[in-house]
């Protein structure tokens, strides 16, 4: 069987370091907001090449807290890609703001910068640039628009740890960025975790209060904050794994290259390879017009796949008010995408087996 993603195997090479980290925290007697969290924040800021990092409880909170920290007027609008993972959009809603959906570019699955300007109104305050599947958004036109209209750029980098754009790292491409350390992400904890990176000292300080009841001195509360902290055990585990992230992303790139070179089925649309060596390849997504048949066929051969994602946000029950929206590119993507096995611990032989199976597929 070729698993889609085996998290036990992903963490196995780090097992001793992880065990050592946990033991160290247990022994310390200090479990929330201590030196492990601080050390990880410093290491992750250095990795992202930003001035500041603030650890939080998860990726959704990272994005929500950034949006809250800016204190935009109620009902301000935030531009988001229509095909993003639902969490990007939930963050806007939780911050009391209005998500405005923009179609992606079908060749990259990233927000189409050419379609953003038509959606900007006097209420627009920010663009949420989601680096979906591990590929950075086309930032230059987004930066131009942000400048022209005085908008903040917030990166959703939850799938893009270590990805680059024009030589800069994800997390350092806008005003602030939200990361997730959910176990399956490129840098994964053994539980929930998240972080915000920014070069804005005032924002970083505000966020360090907001994640902790709005307090920086115990029992003195300056803001109406949340409880959203990265705990010491997860921070210690993340510090242990971070030094290996670059090499793990390189393994992902090697597998992406194998897929891109090897799959030659006429009905399969491959992801863009233009930025192969800059992308973090969180997932490798192909399209096929008869997706369900391809999934079943691969399953018969013992090859696991996943669909990211089966239902677009505007067709989710949670956002019933968007039911009548017509977003044909987003809908096509959600009908046709399949994610193939890829991880730092998949072997080349396994990837080659998947390629061969796909190339032999006939409906
Ligand atoms: C995983 C993810 C999130 C949310 O992260 P959590 O830690 O699960 O809350 C947000 N945006 C994107 C694009 C994600 O993939």
Q: Give the integer Cα–Cα distance in Å for 64 and 54.
A: 13
Residues 6+ apart with CB under 8 A from 243: none
The reported pLDDT for the residue numbered 360 is: 98
Categorise residue 109: left if φ over 0, alpha if ψ from -120 to 50, beta otherwise. Answer: left
Q: How far apart are CA 319 and CA 187, in angstroms?
A: 30
Q: What angle separates helix 35-48 from helix 232-241, to the nearest 10 degrees?
A: 40
Q: Which of 61, 63, 80, 88 to mutate to test the pocket of ligand 1 (most atoms within 8 A of CB)?
A: 88
Whole-number Å distance between alpha carbons of 18 and 8: 12
pLDDT category, 77, cuts 50, 70, 90?
A: very high
279 lines ligand 1 (CB under 6 A): no
- Does any ligand 1 atom lie closer than 6 A to the CB of residue 60? yes
User: ∠42-46-37 over CA atoms, to 5°?
Assistant: 20
Atom of ligand 1 nearest to the CA of 130: 13
Q: What is the pTM of this model?
A: 0.98
Q: Nearest-5° angle of CA 239, CA 242, CA 246?
A: 170
Alpha-carbon distance of 90 to 98, in angstroms, equals 10
Mutate to test the pocket of ligand 1, among 63, 159, 191, 193 (most ligand atoms within 8 A of CB): 159
Residues 102-129: what's their mean pLDDT? 98
Cα distances (angstroms) measured from residue 129 to each of 96, 156, 235: 19, 6, 26
pLDDT of residue 363: 82
pLDDT digits (tens, 9 = 90+) for 210-230: 999 999 999 999 999 999 999
Tokens in use for 169?
A: 């790292």
Cα 276 from chain centre:
17
CA angle 354, 344, 292 (to 5 degrees): 35
CA of 361 to the centre of ligand 1 (A): 33
How does pLDDT run across 127-170, given as a tens digit for each residue? 999 999 999 999 999 999 999 999 999 999 999 999 999 999 99
């Amino acid at each position: 069987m070729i698993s889609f993603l085996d998290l036990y195997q992903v963490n196995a090479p780090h097992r001793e370091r992880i065990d050592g980290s946990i033991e160290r925290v247990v022994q310390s007697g200090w479990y929330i907001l201590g030196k492990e969290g601080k050390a990880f924040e410093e290491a992750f800021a250095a990795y992202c090449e930003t001035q500041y990092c603030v650890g939080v409880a998860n990726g959704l909170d990272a994005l929500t807290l950034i949006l809250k920290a800016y204190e935009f007027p109620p009902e301000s609008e935030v531009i988001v890609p229509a095909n993003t993972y639902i969490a990007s959009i939930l963050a806007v809603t939780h911050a009391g703001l209005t998500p405005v959906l923009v179609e992606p570019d079908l060749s990259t699955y990233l927000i189409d910068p050419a379609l953003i300007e038509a959606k900007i109104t006097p209420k627009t305050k920010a663009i949420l640039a989601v680096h979906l599947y591990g590929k950075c958004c086309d930032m230059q036109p987004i930066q131009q628009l942000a400048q022209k209209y005085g908008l903040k750029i917030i990166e959703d980098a939850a799938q893009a740890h270590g990805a680059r754009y024009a030589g800069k790292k994800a997390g350092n491409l806008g005003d602030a960025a939200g990361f997730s350390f959910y176990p399956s992400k490129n840098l994964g904890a053994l539980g929930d975790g998240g972080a915000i990176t920014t070069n804005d000292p005032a924002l970083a300080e505000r966020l360090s209060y907001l994640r902790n009841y709005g307090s920086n001195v115990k029992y003195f509360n300056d803001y109406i904050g949340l409880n959203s902290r990265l705990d010491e055990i997860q921070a210690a585990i993340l510090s242990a794994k971070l030094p290996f992230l670059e090499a793990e992303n390189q393994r992902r790139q090697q597998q992406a290259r194998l897929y891109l070179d090897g799959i030659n089925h006429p009905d399969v649309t491959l992801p863009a390879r233009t930025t192969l060596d800059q992308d973090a390849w969180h997932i490798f997504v192909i399209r096929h017009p008869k997706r369900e048949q391809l999934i079943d066929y691969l399953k018969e051969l013992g090859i696991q796949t996943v669909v990211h994602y089966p239902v677009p946000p505007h067709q989710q029950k949670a956002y019933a008010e968007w039911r009548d929206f017509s977003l044909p590119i987003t809908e096509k993507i959600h009908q046709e995408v399949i994610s193939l096995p890829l991880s730092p611990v998949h072997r080349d032989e396994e990837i080659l087996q998947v390629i061969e199976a796909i190339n032999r597929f006939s409906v």
